[in-house]
């Protein structure tokens, strides 16, 4: 018991000492006290690396200095700014929360962990981060960096993605937290995981915890932390028919529970595998267009790996004399000159830019 307390004490003291003297990680939201800006940074950083998220954070702060500005913004404009970040449900929830806070809470974020957790798009980690950084609440954050630091220091072999593992890591994080200085402690452990105790090739020689780290002392840094689940990657095959006239392109706004919600795309035929042009022309979704054979002009291929999906996409341009009715809900003809105002998935941005549509 005494040894455990000593290891706890060393961990917290060494971590905070490193943070004060040697942590030089510079990010625009560090030391921020405004709950709106902290919330925005945390939503952007969900499933996104800090360096990738940084320009988006700066762009959003410039466009929406306060939560009321975001709440009043046009959906399409917000999605356009988010374009390229992926996981677009985050953007949908972000907009809903901004409007709820602005309209129902007088523009004030809840000051408690429980109140923050009740907001759409905010889970335990994000609620703890906002509560700690904005209000100094004694809430320990637990993310991938924290799992890694705790697992290696303590030699924890319990999978961090199991129910028991999540509980174990949560308890350990709460136990180690400096409740009088939670913001500094939370920032320190996350930064240590991001810059020193990295997933691959950790910089153990620069780590303030090295002399008591079980993973380092026993050669376990490549093994810890342990993940129990490996989600199978689903393969999907998209065939986009870019239906266009001399000055307009038909676009469809995606909805439902699938990927890329609220973003736009050309006419889509999805199949279990890659279809030849002849197979496309025989497809029911092609026949309803009444284009006839020979109308497809192959225009390239691309692929994109999402977290649990691999999407292979083939593009075809279909020239038609003028706008016609396409029997698909949420579809419309958009002038090519207005394409830059529309939000698209990353895969489509690459294709459209290459074709100089915007």
Q: What share of the chain is helix, strand, coil (3-state, %, to 5)?
A: 45, 15, 40
User: Is the pLDDT score of 25 beyond 70?
Assistant: yes
pTM: 0.85
Predicted confidence at residue 97, as pLDDT, reads 98
**pLDDT tens, residue by residue, 305-330:** 887 899 999 999 999 988 888 888 88
CATH 1.10.340.30 domain residues, the chain? 2-217
Q: Regarding the domain with residue range 234-354, which homologous superfamily does it belong to in the CATH classification?
A: Nucleoside Triphosphate Pyrophosphohydrolase (3.90.79.10)
CATH 3.90.79.10 domain residues, the chain? 234-354
Alpha-carbon distance values, 162 to 141, 167, 168, 169 (Å): 18, 9, 10, 10
pLDDT, mean of residues 7-22:
96
What single string gives the DSSP state of each residue in 119-131?
STT--HHHHHHHH
Q: Is 312 a catalytic residue?
A: no
User: Is the pLDDT score of 31 beyond 60?
Assistant: yes
Given the residues 32, 42, 51, 76, select the one marked as catalytic: 42
**pLDDT tens, residue by residue, 284-301:** 999 999 887 788 999 999
Decide if 134 contacts 35 (C-beta within 8 A). Answer: yes
Match domain 2-217 to its CATH number in 3.30.230.70, 1.10.340.30, 3.30.950.10, 1.10.645.10. Answer: 1.10.340.30
Quote the radius of gyration of the chain (alpha carbons, Å): 25
Three-state DSSP class for 98?
helix
Predicted confidence at residue 3, as pLDDT, reads 58
């Amino acid at each position: 018991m005494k040894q455990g307390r000593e290891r706890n004490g060393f961990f917290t003291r060494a971590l905070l000492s490193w943070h004060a003297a040697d942590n030089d990680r510079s990010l625009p939201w560090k030391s921020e006290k405004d709950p709106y800006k902290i919330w925005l940074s945390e939503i952007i950083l969900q499933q996104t690396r800090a360096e990738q998220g940084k320009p988006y954070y700066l762009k959003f702060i410039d466009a929406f200095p306060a939560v009321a500005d975001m709440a009043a913004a046009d959906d399409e404009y917000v999605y356009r700014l988010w374009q390229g970040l992926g996981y677009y449900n985050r953007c949908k929830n972000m907009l809903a929360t901004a409007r709820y806070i602005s309209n129902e809470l007088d523009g004030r974020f809840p000051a408690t962990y429980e109140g923050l957790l009740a907001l759409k798009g905010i889970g335990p980690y994000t609620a703890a981060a906002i509560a700690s950084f904005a209000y100094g609440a004694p809430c320990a954050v637990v993310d991938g960096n924290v799992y890694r630091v705790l697992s290696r220091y303590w030699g924890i072999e319990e999978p961090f993605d199991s129910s028991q593992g999540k509980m174990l890591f949560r308890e350990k994080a709460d136990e180690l937290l400096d409740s009088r200085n939670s913001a500094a402690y939370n920032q320190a452990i996350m930064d240590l995981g991001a810059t020193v105790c990295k997933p691959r090739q950790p910089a153990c020689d620069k780590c303030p915890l090295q002399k008591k780290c079980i993973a380092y002392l026993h050669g376990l840094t490549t093994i810890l932390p342990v993940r129990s689940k490996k989600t199978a990657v689903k393969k999907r095959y998209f065939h986009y028919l870019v239906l266009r006239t001399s000055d307009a392109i038909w676009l469809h706004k995606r909805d439902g529970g699938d990927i890329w919600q609220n973003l736009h795309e050309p006419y889509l035929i999805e199949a279990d595998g890659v279809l030849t042009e002849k197979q496309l022309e025989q497809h029911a979704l092609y026949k309803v267009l009444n284009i006839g054979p020979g109308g497809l002009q192959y225009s390239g291929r691309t692929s994109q790996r999402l977290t649990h999906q691999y999407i292979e996409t083939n593009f075809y341009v279909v020239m038609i004399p003028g706008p016609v009715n396409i029997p698909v809900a949420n579809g419309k003809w958009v002038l090519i000159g207005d394409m830059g105002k529309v939000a698209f998935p990353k895969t489509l941005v690459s294709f459209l830019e290459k074709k100089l549509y915007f």
